[in-house]
Chains A and B, each alone.
Chain A
Amino acid sequence: MFDNLLSLMPEIGLAIVQTGVMLFISMCCAVLFGIPLGVFLYFTGRGQIFERPVLFRITNYVVNTVRSLPFVILLVALIPLTRVMVGTTIGPVAAAVPLSIASTAYFARLVEQSLREVPKGVIEAALGMGATPLQITWKVLLAEARSGIVLGITLTTISLLSYSAMAGIVGGGGIGDLAIRFGYYRFQTDVMILTVILLIIFVQIIQFSGNFLARLLDKR
């Protein structure tokens, strides 16, 4: 029953690497753009120090829209953008473009939520000491919400892992794609089982390290 697996070993190895590439690129983007976006949503929101109802509503709307599109649709809709950005529409790097956009929107929302948990009084106390908005962002908001943000990264990574299964549509490859191509279309149950086990292990590792780090950082 496991004879498929041996011959597929190189494919499986490649799939793991492809998943790694997709996750790495899109998580870098999520952190790089999602944090500023989350901070922006937080500050411009209702009752906050830089309340800007119109700007907030537009940004909020864009983030919601990205989040409400089924990932497959986003993947296909973004093909022209992907071509402009990476020169090709196939492969894990190309798949990372829609993945990055989806994960940035998702993570930004999680960042915004964690920032809301910082008591307003703490921010006021810092304002009263003469802190600049930038100092408040770094030294108060992000520093106080850091364990929530780590959990947000964990959650986003796990969502990405399942999104990345659809990357096969644009030839992105990866573990999920392997499961669909061999396990589903060719009825190779052993491949299906192996990929599922791999995915379970990955999710466990990500969740466990995320929880561990969050606990380590949380002094509240």
Chain B
Amino acid sequence: MIVLEQVSKSYRSKDGLISAVAPTSLEVAEGEIFGIIGQSGAGKSTILRMMNLLEAPTTGSVIVNGRDLTKCSPQELRVARRSIGMIFQHFYLLQNRTAADNIAFPLEISGVPKKNREQRVKQCLEIVGLEDKASAYPAQLSGGQKQRVAIARALATEPKVLLCDEPTSALDPQTTGVILEFIRDINKRFGVTIVLVSHDMEVVKHICGRIAVMEHGSIVETLDLSGTGQKPTTEIAKLLLGDRREALKGGVAYV
């Protein structure tokens, strides 16, 4: 579903090029919930944002749904993006629009007629259980409710892929659970492929099938969390997976 081929990202700065992501390849299968985990600055957001080309890779190609996004014209890219939803840690809702109008926004910009829009908005509000908040403004909603509106908005155009950048990092543990259930539910019911970035192993363990562990701009390990459970081999993965004793035995001075 998503194929990253030797993508890298570097930024120009005063002291030359900074590499945020070293050439990395990654494949996410259709219908899976894929996690990307790593410490702050590891390059998780950068890699996720390459999947809809919000971040254009310096080298390499990004193939989503069979299309090489790096080869698309601006117009083709806009069309391709309609089938890739995205949610963020800070929600990024339009503050001057009601919940319903926020969900209608992606439909509006892709030219869906008003009547169909209203219908779809209603369905999406139902999916996230916020029918009663249709006419509330974001300022009147709790963090969890805002994220549910953001999820509904991301789903409005019936995307094949949902990219989630730390979707629960601004929420309390209980609300985190609710949001993760919604994400899992969307994956099951609609077969949406999900990529979820988090620095919190609990979140990832909760819903992901496979995960990639990132450190200093590279994927150091890919693990399958389902079934018998593959043992992590890198120190950073052991640390993040909470296998602290093993990590310490390996002589690592994190904590």
Q: How far is the CB of A214 from chain B (nearest CB, A)?
A: 12
**In-complex Cβ contact of B137 among A119, A121, A124, A219 (8 A):** A219
B40 CB within 8 Å of chain A:
no
Residues of chain A within 8 A of B81, CB atoms compared: 127-130
Stretch of A14-22, A91-99, A137-145 at the chain-chain interface? A137-145
0/1 interface trace, chain A 107-139, chain B, CB 8 Å (1 if under): 000000000000101101111111110010001
* A144 adjacent to B90 (CB under 8 Å): no
Report yes or no: B90 in contact with A121, Cβ–Cβ below 8 A.
yes
From residue A73, how far is it (CB to closest CB) to chain B in Å? 40
Whether, in the assembled complex, A217 has its beta carbon less than 8 Å from a beta carbon of chain B, the answer is yes
Q: Distance in Å from the Cβ of B192 to the closest Cβ of chain A?
A: 15
Binary contact readout B131-171 vs A (1 if CB under 8 angstroms, 0 otherwise): 00000011100000000000000000100000000000000
Given A129-B105, A219-B139, also A124-B92 (CB < 8 A): yes
A93 to chain B, nearest CB (A): 37
- CB of A181 closer than 8 Å to a CB of B: no
Q: Which of B25-33, B106-114, B232-240, B244-252 contacts A (4 or more CB under 8 A)?
A: B106-114
Interface residues of B in 78-115 (CB under 8 A from A): 78-82, 84, 86, 88, 90, 92-97, 105-106, 108-110
Which residues between 49 and 92 of chain B lie within 8 Å of chain A, taking CB atoms?
A: 52, 54, 77-82, 84, 86, 88, 90, 92
Q: Distance (Å) between the CB of A119 and the closest chain B CB? A: 7
Q: How far is the CB of B254 from chain A (nearest CB, A)?
A: 30
In the bound complex, CA of A125 to CA of B139 (Å): 18
Q: Are the C-beta atoms of A129 and B139 separated by less than 8 Å? A: no
Whether A146 sits at the interface, judged by CB under 8 Å, is: yes
Number of B interface residues, CB 8 Å? 27
* Residue among B78, B88, B109 making CB contact with A121, cutoff 8 Å: B88
With both chains docked as a complex, state the minimum distance between the C-beta of B114 and any C-beta of chain A, in angstroms.
15
In the complex the two chains form, what is the Cα distance from A124 to B157 in whole Å?
A: 17
A146, chain B: closest CB distance, angstroms: 7
**Which A-chain residue is minimally distant from B98 (CB atoms)?**
A219
Would you call B96 and A144 a contact (CB within 8 A)? yes
A144: B residues at CB distance < 8 A: 94-96
Q: Which residues of A contact B108 (CB under 8 A)?
A: 139
A125 close to B96 (CB less than 8 A) = no
Give the complex CA separation of A128 and B94 in angstroms: 14
The answer to whether B105 touches A130, judged by C-beta atoms less than 8 angstroms apart, is no
Q: Are A220 and B109 in contact (CB under 8 A)?
A: no
Q: Which of A124, A130, A139, A220 contacts B95 (CB 8 A)?
A: A220
By a CB distance below 8 angstroms, the chain B residues around A129 are: 81-82, 86, 105-106, 109-110, 157
What are the residues of chain B within 8 A of A140 when measuring CB–CB? Answer: 94
A133 — nearest CB in chain B belongs to which residue? B74
Q: How far is the CA of A121 from the CA of B165 in the complex (A)?
A: 12
CA distance A220 to B52 in the complex (A): 28
Q: Are B92 and A127 in contact (CB under 8 A)?
A: no
What's the minimum C-beta distance from A89 to chain B, rounded to whole angstroms? 44
A119 to B95, CA, bound (A): 10
**Nearest A residue (CB) for B154:** A129
Contact in complex: B96, A217 (CB < 8 Å): yes
A143 and B94: CB pair below 8 A? yes
Q: Which of B86, B92, B110, B157 contacts A122 (CB 8 A)?
A: B92
Residue among A130, A217, A219, A220 with the highest chain B CB neighbour number at 10 A = A130
Residues of A within 8 A of B (CB): 119, 121-122, 124-132, 135, 139-140, 143-144, 146, 217-220
Extra pairs beyond A125-B92, A128-B84, A144-B96 (9, CB < 8 Å): A122-B94, A124-B92, A128-B86, A129-B109, A130-B78, A130-B80, A130-B82, A130-B106, A143-B97
CB pairs A–B below 8 angstroms (30 shown): A119-B90, A121-B92, A122-B94, A125-B86, A126-B105, A126-B109, A127-B54, A128-B54, A129-B106, A129-B110, A130-B77, A130-B78, A130-B79, A130-B109, A130-B110, A132-B109, A139-B105, A139-B109, A143-B94, A143-B97, A144-B94, A144-B95, A144-B96, A218-B96, A219-B95, A219-B96, A219-B137, A219-B138, A219-B139, A220-B139
